[in-house]
Amino acid sequence: MAPLVRSRRCFVHRNAIGARHRRAIASPGPARADGMITILYGSGTKAHKEDFTEFLEPALIKVARRHPNVRIALVGYRTVGPELAQLGDRLILIDPIADVRTYWKVLADADINLAVLKPSRVADCKSEIKWLEAAMLGIPSVVSATRTYEEIIDQGKTGFLCRTAADWDESLERLVTDEALRRTVGDAARTVALRDYGEAAMATNIAAILADIMPRPRTARKRIAVVNVFYPPQAIGGATRVVHDNVCSLVADHGDQFEIEVFTSIEGEPEGYKVVRQIVDGVRVTGVTTPNDPLIEQHTHDRRMGEVFDEFLTVAQVDLVHFHCIQRLTAELLEVTERRAIPYIITAHDGWWISNDQFLVDRRDQITLYDYALPAIERAQQFNAKAFRRMSVLEEPLRQARLVLPVSEPFAALYRMAGVENIRTIANGVSRLPERDRIAAPDGRIRLAHIGGASRHKGYHLV
């Protein structure tokens, strides 16, 4: 690129390891005990199809035939030949993964990582990201001998460079048959990755200074943002009633200690992502109109909603965020909060976090739960593609919560069954309702009331 720029000078700033990478390193996932050796190849684009077929597939077929304890995991775009397909359940095919944290969880379950590129000037310009992601997790890599990989890999010590089909076959055979070698190369690669690609090393090469240019004065009171899908005057749903009661109680009983802000969505407006602020019961409520989308409650992330919430946090300057029901708002808000290093807690009013079905019951009246305790590859096998993707992108914001607060002990038990650990039960209380004189029925009969919808998860069929 140097000849193409006016100064004739270019500078290299390599991919780096940041906070998200370190969280992935600190949470490697459950250990496998099945005795299988997993070789993983992740393809991010359709452009690598020829590279895989010509250079890598023959070596994989050979090593898998020689070793029945070897399984191949292919992630992303791929075309599997008939010989490789004969591996049966030792061949795991995983659809393209858009969320990098989900990909890291799958990668963490592997024993050997692969990166193949057909030799070319373009391939020589590609970064070492595939090696770096595996290296940070202590996984040895076998890669094509591009110019970049030759610059950063010490052959046989921090990885294996391959130029021919024989190189691929030999490198895979060495790693498959030598557990100590896999561990030694993986550990050495991780040492290099953490030393040369960490924040401290990269800080000498580039500086990015972002600061609050207009910091607002802070009051002595701690500021709490309460987030729920709805809030009065749009009081929809039982959880909204609980949230409103909680806010009113906090203001009445602890207003001298805490200042409360509310963030919510507004339904039924023609224009989406419009901010409306109002005062409800002495509390500032920031509402955001939602777009007209029939599938809005199925989305786990909404970038534009996250941008609006980021602006809200800039203004509110809160010390803690208390999330309740976040459908329509999405988990994007939790990720924005995490990036700002603001602690947050989650009250679990329903099964949105642990099931494809918000109220846990599917069309066959069966309870359906995720299992966050499973390794990523086993999740991909056990759950359908939709459930696998959804639980993968929700796991990180769920685990980063300081506490998850189910509203009853039986509900807490379900969350524990789904592999959620940071739990403390806080049961719903009773609203401060005005006293009313009861009027008995003239005929003496007992009157029963069902408060709730007519759906099965509300128990209507039992009435």
| Structural domain span for residue 305 | 222-417
pTM exceeds cut of 0.85: no
Would you say 115 and 121 are in contact if contact means Cβ atoms under 8 Å apart? no
Rounded to whole angstroms, how far apart are CA atoms 326 and 259? Answer: 21
For 149-181, the pLDDT digits (tens) are 999 899 999 999 999 889 999 999 999 999 999
Is 432 contained in some domain?
A: no
> 100 — phi, psi (to 5°)?
-65, -30
- Rounded (10°) CA dihedral 412, 416, 418, 419: 140
Is 319 contained in some domain?
A: yes
Rounded to whole angstroms, how far apart are CA atoms 80 and 64? Answer: 14
Same domain, residue pair 154 and 254: no
Same domain, residue pair 234 and 317: yes
- Strand order in 222-227's β-sheet? 275-280, 283-289, 258-266, 222-227, 320-323, 344-348, 403-406
Same domain, residue pair 264 and 175: no
The bridge status of strand 275-280 relative to strand 283-289 is antiparallel
Last residue of a domain, one of 203, 233, 259: 203
For 428-445, the pLDDT digits (tens) are 877 777 777 778 888 888
Please name every residue paired with 142 in a beta bridge, in sequence order, or none if there are none: 114, 160
DSSP state letter for 383: S
Same domain, residue pair 106 and 243: no
Is 439 contained in some domain?
A: no
Same domain, residue pair 173 and 304: no
Would you say 290 and 275 are in contact if contact means Cβ atoms under 8 Å apart? no
Same domain, residue pair 228 and 101: no
Same domain, residue pair 197 and 238: no
Per DSSP (E only), the strands in 28-78 are 37-43, 70-76
DSSP state letter for 128: S
Same domain, residue pair 241 and 389: yes
Last residue of a domain, one of 203, 235, 252: 203
Beta carbons within 10 angstroms of residue 285's beta carbon: 22
Beta carbons within 10 angstroms of residue 58's beta carbon: 16
Is 396 contained in some domain?
A: yes
Assigned token pair, 50: 């020829």
> In whole angstroms, how large is the CA radius of gyration of the chain?
27
Q: How many structural domains does the chain have? A: 2
Specify the 3-state DSSP secondary structure of 405: strand
Specify the CATH number for the domain of residue 376. Answer: 3.40.50.2000
Same domain, residue pair 118 and 157: yes
Same domain, residue pair 172 and 234: no
Rounded to whole angstroms, how far apart are CA atoms 408 and 427? Answer: 5
Last residue of a domain, one of 203, 233, 262: 203
Specify the 3-state DSSP secondary structure of 92: strand
Is 443 contained in some domain?
A: no
- Strand order in 70-76's β-sheet? 91-94, 70-76, 37-43, 112-115, 141-144, 160-162
Q: Which one, of 119, 323, 109, 307, lies nearest residue 224 by Cα?
A: 323
Same domain, residue pair 249 and 355: yes
Is 349 contained in some domain?
A: yes
Beta carbons within 10 angstroms of residue 187's beta carbon: 13
Full pLDDT tens readout for the chain, 463 residues: 767 755 566 777 777 888 888 888 887 666 676 789 999 998 866 555 666 777 788 888 899 899 999 998 999 876 778 888 888 888 889 888 888 888 889 998 899 999 888 878 888 778 888 998 999 999 999 999 999 899 989 999 999 999 988 999 999 999 999 999 999 999 999 999 999 888 788 787 776 434 544 455 555 789 999 999 999 999 888 899 999 999 999 999 998 899 999 999 999 999 999 999 999 998 999 999 999 998 898 899 999 999 999 999 999 999 999 999 999 999 999 999 999 999 999 999 999 999 988 888 877 778 889 999 999 999 999 898 988 999 999 999 999 999 999 999 999 999 999 999 899 999 987 777 777 777 888 888 888 887 766 666 666 667 6
Would you say 223 and 261 are in contact if contact means Cβ atoms under 8 Å apart? yes
Please name every residue paired with 38 in a beta bridge, in sequence order, or none if there are none: 71
Is 184 contained in some domain?
A: yes
> Which strand (E) or helix (H) includes residue 64?
helix 57-66
Please name every residue paired with 76 in a beta bridge, in sequence order, or none if there are none: 43
Residue 108, amino acid: A
